[in-house]
Chain A
């Protein structure tokens, strides 16, 4: 099958701590820190949106792809819950910025938090079917969480980009499985600014049932067992959910550690498992098998088995590693600054 020939991530430098949000709303910070395993989250500054995050991640993917000419990228798909425009694609701007226009197919995807893995899935499928030489799938979000809602403690920003191809792969895709049911666990209606959700229902009946549904099916299809994988990445709306689903499926904490970013990054919605995959590729070795399963409310999961090639050693440090973006050069903001950045303060025009 086809696979990843270039990958990259981008995260904002700004962070806000759980205690800072809890202080404003009189919420119980320890229950979020212990109960959901969230410590802090990324905050996009005013000039950063899904498009700019995508451009940065795509440029890094091109760097790692080394010899890929942007003009040979036949499709660009961006999965996000926060496309800046309701009508006008994010992908056109990103394609223009990386020099991939005009002979390119473009679409923006939406499927709650699995829009990003959908973009990856469709890009991969085009290349696998020889419709084009390369295709770019991007997962990016500047996530929305209503003030004082539980989601506000996690909704974060970040992007992961993957150039799919058949030659010079960094990681070949061996198997995929997608799983979906109609599930009213989390939604945002047209013209609404913040999503609504069904509380604990979104965990038990939606996230866990769907993630396990896709994961179990993929393990069966591949004939593999959790112990066959070096690492695994799951959608991470908080720190606790991926940890629990991994354990219930038979994966260990050690296997999820490299891509388990949510405790410090927050929930990057569409970006969550794809960014986790970038961080995992950063530490993988040739021959490693990687398991990945996204989750999007509504609800569905895309699951992938990746096999890392020799080329990983050549490309991993051609650009910044994801954990460096997570760990270094950070700016902590207070709630006022965060509220300004996220346009939560009403001003006169």
Chain B
């Protein structure tokens, strides 16, 4: 395979963006990425989008995005894997460029989540779980992750304070990110004192509902070099699945898809996990970040919570996680999240992270882990400075 790079990035406004529609959010992000990269055309585009049909009754999103980008005629594909849609859009663009089929591909993600009621949004998101064996019986995502949290607490003694520490850290980072939906600090007391959503998860343990889009330009290193803009290499890509229902898993305190996808990506990159210096992880709920840290082998089971509490994953810690603010603070427009994770790693590796958010010591290799549902799918990318 030839070298594949990220050369330009763009994000729409994230948050409750009532004055921009699904297509406008996409175009805002895509145009910014195109301008940022300096490319003069696209060969194709991929757009991650989980549930536009339920959120805004719009399907056929690939064609819609190409059309409103002013590029009707362009090959355009929507990618759906619940909240991992964006990460897999990046992977598809990566594979298309790596294979030599295309030279310049836009990988984007978009979700418009606030045009429907909170109940309808919860129902749409529940589509990422097992409808017959989980949702039909009343489970929602906060409920499912709450069960995983309880199991983790019972097995390893993980505490609510450890969960809250994830939120505190990510909000601290997000407060420095101009793109974040909730750029403010929170304290452990504030997290523990916030409204209980599904015991033991408080509202400040949960990522929000967000409108937003993100886009990156994926191209060959040859073209990236010619463009003369900062770029980073994608040196590994992995994608794996697990049972869709957590009841079918051997151990609900682990997310196997994340470890399998990481192993694939490391193998492709010919690197070890110890070579990776920081990560963007899918902290849809605080417990998710802790479980992923352990599932990918960064920490022994039961050790991730104390590590977060000890600051080991802070911006200046030994392995910074979610320097963007993560899903918790930056927001979680589900289809766009995986692409935005790639943007954060790109910004860290090119020195473009804003407002004092740069990781000390100029790290050379970072990774993203983007996840669908309770981990029934995971996409992992490993990126390296050019």
Interface positions of A (Cβ within 8 A of B): 28, 31, 196, 198-201, 204-205
Closest-by-CB residue of B relative to A26 is B196
Query: CB within 8 A of B16: which of A28, A196, A201?
Result: A201
> A204 and B195: CB pair below 8 A?
no
Q: A201–B16 Cα gap in the complex (Å)? A: 8
> B18 and A199: CB pair below 8 A?
no
Knowing A204-B16, A204-B18, A205-B18 are in contact, say whether A199-B118 is a contact too (CB < 8 A).
yes
> B114 and A201: CB pair below 8 A?
yes
Interface CB pairs A-B, < 8 A, 15:
A28-B195, A28-B196, A31-B195, A196-B117, A198-B117, A199-B117, A199-B118, A200-B16, A201-B16, A201-B18, A201-B114, A204-B16, A204-B18, A205-B18, A205-B19
Q: A199–B16 Cα gap in the complex (Å)? A: 11
Q: Which residues between 1 and 23 of chain B lie within 8 Å of chain A, taking CB atoms?
A: 16, 18-19
* Chain B residues positioned under 8 Å from A204 (CB to CB): 16, 18
The 4 closest A-B pairs by CB, nearest first: A28-B195, A205-B18, A201-B18, A31-B195
Q: A201–B114 Cα gap in the complex (Å)? A: 9
Known interface pairs A28-B196, A31-B195, A201-B18; 12 further A-B residue pairs with C-beta atoms within 8 A, sorted by A's residue number: A28-B195, A196-B117, A198-B117, A199-B117, A199-B118, A200-B16, A201-B16, A201-B114, A204-B16, A204-B18, A205-B18, A205-B19
Q: A31–B190 Cα gap in the complex (Å)? A: 12
Q: Which residues between 156 and 198 of chain B lie within 8 Å of chain A, taking CB atoms?
A: 195-196
Closest-by-CB residue of B relative to A197 is B117
Q: A196–B116 Cα gap in the complex (Å)? A: 12
Q: A205–B18 Cα gap in the complex (Å)? A: 8
Per DSSP, chain B at the interface is loop
* Chain B residues positioned under 8 Å from A28 (CB to CB): 195-196
Q: Which residues between 106 and 134 of chain B lie within 8 Å of chain A, taking CB atoms?
A: 114, 117-118
Closest-by-CB residue of A relative to B118 is A199
Task: Report B195 CB to chain A, min CB distance, Å.
Answer: 5
Task: Report B362 CB to chain A, min CB distance, Å.
Answer: 40
Closest-by-CB residue of B relative to A206 is B18
Q: How many of chain B's residues touch chain A, expressed as a range?
A: under 10
* Chain A residues positioned under 8 Å from B118 (CB to CB): 199
Q: A28–B118 Cα gap in the complex (Å)? A: 17
Q: A204–B118 Cα gap in the complex (Å)? A: 17
Closest-by-CB residue of B relative to A27 is B195
Q: A201–B18 Cα gap in the complex (Å)? A: 8
* Chain B residues positioned under 8 Å from A198 (CB to CB): 117
* Chain A residues positioned under 8 Å from B195 (CB to CB): 28, 31
Task: Report B14 CB to chain A, min CB distance, Å.
Answer: 15
* Chain B residues positioned under 8 Å from A199 (CB to CB): 117-118
* Chain A residues positioned under 8 Å from B19 (CB to CB): 205
Q: A31–B197 Cα gap in the complex (Å)? A: 14
Closest-by-CB residue of A relative to B117 is A199
Q: A201–B15 Cα gap in the complex (Å)? A: 12
Closest-by-CB residue of A relative to B193 is A30
Q: A198–B18 Cα gap in the complex (Å)? A: 11
Task: Report B168 CB to chain A, min CB distance, Å.
Answer: 20
* Chain A residues positioned under 8 Å from B16 (CB to CB): 200-201, 204
Task: Report A202 CB to chain B, min CB distance, Å.
Answer: 11
Q: A94–B118 Cα gap in the complex (Å)? A: 41
Task: Report A209 CB to chain B, min CB distance, Å.
Answer: 10
Q: A199–B120 Cα gap in the complex (Å)? A: 12
Closest-by-CB residue of A relative to B209 is A199
* Chain B residues positioned under 8 Å from A205 (CB to CB): 18-19
Closest-by-CB residue of B relative to A199 is B118
Q: A201–B117 Cα gap in the complex (Å)? A: 10
Q: A200–B113 Cα gap in the complex (Å)? A: 13
Task: Report B55 CB to chain A, min CB distance, Å.
Answer: 14
* Chain B residues positioned under 8 Å from A201 (CB to CB): 16, 18, 114
Task: Report B73 CB to chain A, min CB distance, Å.
Answer: 35
* Chain A residues positioned under 8 Å from B114 (CB to CB): 201
Closest-by-CB residue of A relative to B16 is A200
Q: Which residues between 334 and 355 of chain B lie within 8 Å of chain A, taking CB atoms?
A: none
Task: Report B158 CB to chain A, min CB distance, Å.
Answer: 24
Task: Report B181 CB to chain A, min CB distance, Å.
Answer: 12
* Chain B residues positioned under 8 Å from A196 (CB to CB): 117
Task: Report B8 CB to chain A, min CB distance, Å.
Answer: 32
Task: Report A23 CB to chain B, min CB distance, Å.
Answer: 15
* Chain A residues positioned under 8 Å from B117 (CB to CB): 196, 198-199
* Chain A residues positioned under 8 Å from B196 (CB to CB): 28
Task: Report A98 CB to chain B, min CB distance, Å.
Answer: 43
Task: Report A195 CB to chain B, min CB distance, Å.
Answer: 13
Q: A333–B196 Cα gap in the complex (Å)? A: 27
Q: A200–B117 Cα gap in the complex (Å)? A: 10
Q: A201–B19 Cα gap in the complex (Å)? A: 11
Interface 0/1 of B193-211, CB less than 8 Å to A: 0011000000000000000
* Chain B residues positioned under 8 Å from A200 (CB to CB): 16
Q: A198–B195 Cα gap in the complex (Å)? A: 21
Task: Report A152 CB to chain B, min CB distance, Å.
Answer: 16
Q: Which residues between 193 and 252 of chain B lie within 8 Å of chain A, taking CB atoms?
A: 195-196
Task: Report A135 CB to chain B, min CB distance, Å.
Answer: 39
Q: A289–B227 Cα gap in the complex (Å)? A: 65
Closest-by-CB residue of A relative to B18 is A205
Q: A198–B118 Cα gap in the complex (Å)? A: 9
Task: Report B334 CB to chain A, min CB distance, Å.
Answer: 18
Task: Report A318 CB to chain B, min CB distance, Å.
Answer: 48
Q: A196–B16 Cα gap in the complex (Å)? A: 19
Q: A196–B18 Cα gap in the complex (Å)? A: 18
* Chain A residues positioned under 8 Å from B18 (CB to CB): 201, 204-205
